[in-house]
Amino acid sequence: QTHLICCFSPNNRQGKLRLQKWFTPLPERERKKIVRDMTTLVLARKPRTCNFLHWKDLKIVYKRYASLYFCCALEEQENELLALEILHRYVELLDKYFGNVCELDIIFNFEKAYFILDEFLMGGEVQETSKQSIANSIEASDMLQETMEEYMSKPAF
Amino acid sequence: MSPSVRLQELIRVIRSARTQCEERGVIQRECAAIREQFRQNDNGGRSHNLAKLLYVHMLGYPAHFGQMECVRLIASPRYSEKRIGYLGAMMLLDEKQDASLLITNSIKNDLSHSSQYVQSLALCTLACMGSAEMCRDLAPEIERLLKASNSYIKKKATLCAVHIIRKVPELGEMFTPSAHSLLSEKNHGVLHGAVVLITELCERNTQTLDNFRKVAVPELVQIMKGLVMSGYSPEHNVAGISDPFLQVRILRLLRILGRNNDRASDAMNDLLAQVATNTDSTKTAGSAVLYETVLTVMDIRSESGLRVSHPPNGEALNVPYISMTSLLKIVQTDHNAVQRHRGTIVDCLKDQDASVQRRALELSLALVSSVNIRSLMKELLLFLSTCPPELRAHAASGIFIAAEKYAPSQRWHIDTILHVLTTAGSDVRDETVPNLIQLITSASELHCYTVHKLYRALVTDISQQPLVQVACWCIGEYGDLLLKGDCEETEPVQVTEDDVLDALETVLQSHMSSPATRAFALTATMKLSTRITENVDRIRSIVSIYGSCIDVELQQRAVEYNALFRKYDHMRAAVLERMPVIDKGQTNGEIQAPPNLLDLLGGVCPAPGDVTVSLLASNSTDSDITSFSLQAAVPKVGSTSYPTTTKPCSTTNESPHQGSFCQDTAQIDSFPTTAWS
């Protein structure tokens, strides 16, 4: 079970958060502190080091995609290689949806990024292992939304 | 800026703010407008406004006033509003907020909605932030949905059930019957959820575990075989592995089912061998599966022939970390196999990646044995001097434990501890000092050697407190050996009494010395008064100066030592004589307790009521006990918190001197009721 999955871009030594999904109940202040500590640790990693690091009694798995870091926090006994695959799968899903996803897509359409995450993970566990299946569900949900009212136009920046 | 500015317009404006202050201004104005709009009636822009608020929340600004709006939007008939409302609930509400209960009814209704996408929103939200109460309320609904015909809903309901069980374990019984039938599903999403659900059920209930062990192992092996041996499946393929997510979960469940059970383990042996041979581990997906296989093979009673010949690989940069991690799992069962890799492990101690170093450290400590202790300890001490600061405490305590278990000689042991104290003195635990002192006293033929070494260390550097404390103690105790000027084991120092007293005074006066260290130094100075011949007056004056020290502890000692000089001079030699060898495990006296109290948490328990505890202690140190108090801590059985109930009782303020007894009695009359159930 993952406790947290988040995505941030480097901003000085701390990260600028673009997305965070918690799967464990924690007070807001503690969440902020944990995210701050985590992003600082990840950004302090030297180049050419592995994708894993330890923090308190958790494992942090992170991977950098262009200007964004995706990372998640796991219990000690979880399989960190699979977590790396989970992060990669999520990025693939974003890429499929937005078409060559870039950071601005996730900034200006953050709620879509969350909707996609919610089709992929639930309660900290993988819910669907087929990319196509998730893509179909999102498309169908979007259509359901747009037939109701036209409120989400294509990103324009 | 008009209040109905669209979300993306707002994002653009916020991003173009040039300073933090400007950004804050923009956001404050916008939040005020949003708040105003929330108060108004439905104006078609409610989802806009909540979305804007959620963006602002993600930047770190407060957004709690949006909670009620989430509740309202969830109850809306429009899908777009529900969608953003549920997202808001997951971001702004958690089980601790009162507002979360208000959405229980909406969730309940939406769970039976005609559109599966609305049902999905409700399920997702419940699985994300459902409190125990909500879970209890809605569990029957979830159970019903588990049997639904639609696999889209089934897979979500399954994971929702997992969340419910995590929150309210007793409800596991409700889901156990359906869980097994889910294993016959073809849809991978449902299958994955089913495996997670069964894992969760088995981890919490041994009866369920036994049942599933009997019925589920063959099915799981079959499914796994299908995944491993089947050809290319475009829908689930990741780098040549068919659905690695599902494979890993099945392997984990098999591990739980096969643990400590020969029959179940036998049934999976072939499969595990197949997976190990057929899985291509050059990419992360394959190595994830292989890694999980290694864990499973290690954990179940596997045939000795089934040992994974090569640890999983994966991407190049991850290889050292993954190899170390796999070896760490293997070392617990197959120590010798890992010893072969000692060279690589020692190399990894010098890796520039802190994560790899951490793993290498853990492995090295696990590999220490009486055979390799000398060479491995050399590497570990080298590591200690260059390792990243966050690993120092771990390394130091690991070294101490290894040294204690396998020290080839007492001198080596003392040397090793001294080396650690010199390199990483500030990272060692408090009990290092008394432990080292105890070790030194028991190595009686090394007293001369030890005091020489410590004296040298002391004059070089007085910043490492534990080292200074031990050095002071040693000089106080064995100062006469130091002054004798000859030593078998090491080059003797030629010091005068003044030199030694200088060293101690430097410690006493240095701003780097902690109060405890200064206390050590003062006592050592005092002890030297019976071990030196010429400079007793100097000691007398040092001691009397500290009689007016600001530090109360030091002052008290100095006053008492003064008294020892003046009124009790005839006793001074006896009081300050060489200490006997200290027994391990007995530091400040003996504790006698009524026999039935020793078995409080198991076996015979005295009836709840008053319990009287008597403590009889004797002072075997050479200083006085200035106060002692008896406290009883009663841990709450079955709770996750630490012992919380303490009953401080009477305290005495007598000052028993060395060798005398003191006694105290305490009454414990309030036990938490759960301790007895």
Tokens of B115: 């559109």
On whether any CB of chain B is under 8 Å from the CB of A79, the answer is: yes
Who among B90, B127, B236 is closest to A130 (CB)?
A: B236
| Distinct helix (H) and strand (E) counts, chain A | 5, 7
Query: Which H or E element spans position A10?
Result: strand A2-11
Strand partners, A121: A126
Distance from CA of B429 to the nearest CA of A (A): 18
Who among B84, B163, B285 is closest to A123 (CB)?
A: B163
Q: What is the pLDDT of residue B487?
A: 78
Distance from CA of A145 to the nearest CA of B (A): 5
Tokens of B175: 């889901």
Count of alpha carbons within 13 angstroms of residue B614, beta-carbon side: 6
Low-confidence ranges of chain B (pLDDT < 50): 1-4, 304-305, 587-609, 634-656, 672-677
| A53·B314 Cβ contact <8 A | no
Strand partners, A125: A122
Cα nearest neighbour of B116 on chain A: A141
Q: What is the pLDDT of residue B52?
A: 92
Distance from CA of B128 to the nearest CA of A (A): 5
On whether any CB of chain B is under 8 Å from the CB of A19, the answer is: yes
Distance from CA of A141 to the nearest CA of B (A): 6
Alpha carbon distance B108, A88 (integer Å): 34
Among B128, B352, B387, most A C-beta atoms within 10 A, so best to mutate, is B128
In this structure, the dihedral spanned by the alpha carbons of residues B148, B152, B157 and B159, taken in order and rounded to 10 degrees, is 150
| B192·A25 Cβ contact <8 A | no
Alpha carbon distance B14, B20 (integer Å): 10
| A149·B58 Cβ contact <8 A | no
Cβ atoms of A38 and A14 closer than 8 Å: no
Alpha carbon distance B82, B103 (integer Å): 12
Alpha carbon distance B624, B526 (integer Å): 14
Who among B8, B244, B353 is closest to A49 (CB)?
A: B353
Distance from CA of A91 to the nearest CA of B (A): 14
- Report how far apart, in Å, the C-alpha atoms of B391 and of each of A55, B33, B281, B360, B428 are: 11, 51, 30, 11, 12
Alpha carbon distance B557, B576 (integer Å): 14
Alpha carbon distance B125, B103 (integer Å): 10
pTM (two decimals): 0.79
Q: What is the pLDDT of residue B307?
A: 58
Kindly report, residue by residue over B65-122, the tens digit of the pLDDT.
Answer: 899 999 999 998 888 889 999 999 999 987 777 778 889 999 999 999 989 999 999 9
Cα nearest neighbour of A32 on chain B: B60
Who among B78, B155, B322 is closest to A128 (CB)?
A: B155
Distance from CA of B315 to the nearest CA of A (A): 9
On whether any CB of chain B is under 8 Å from the CB of A154, the answer is: no
Alpha carbon distance A144, A137 (integer Å): 11
Cβ atoms of B377 and B417 closer than 8 Å: no
Who among B11, B248, B325 is closest to A82 (CB)?
A: B248
Alpha carbon distance B24, B18 (integer Å): 11
Per CB-CB distance under 8 Å, the chain A contacts of B188 are 128-130
Alpha carbon distance B218, B213 (integer Å): 9
Q: Give phi and psi for B551, each to the nearest 5.
A: -65, 120
Amino acid at residue number A81: L
Cα nearest neighbour of B199 on chain A: A1
Cα nearest neighbour of B126 on chain A: A123
Residue A87 has pLDDT above 50, yes or no: yes
- Report how far apart, in Å, the C-alpha atoms of B175 and of each of B135, B139, B180, B271 are: 13, 9, 9, 28
Alpha carbon distance B541, B215 (integer Å): 84
Distance from CA of A127 to the nearest CA of B (A): 6
Alpha carbon distance B390, B424 (integer Å): 12
The ipTM estimated for the assembled molecules is 0.92
On whether any CB of chain B is under 8 Å from the CB of A24, the answer is: no
Cβ atoms of B38 and A109 closer than 8 Å: no
| A25·B96 Cβ contact <8 A | yes
Alpha carbon distance B100, B89 (integer Å): 8
* Centroid of chain to Cα A156: 23
113-142 in chain A: CB under 8 A from chain B: 114-115, 118, 122-123, 125-133, 137, 140-141
What is the per-residue DSSP string for B613-661?
EEEEEE--SSS----EEEEEEEPPTT-SSPP-EEEEEEEE-----TT-E
* Centroid of chain to Cα A116: 10
* Centroid of chain to Cα B517: 30
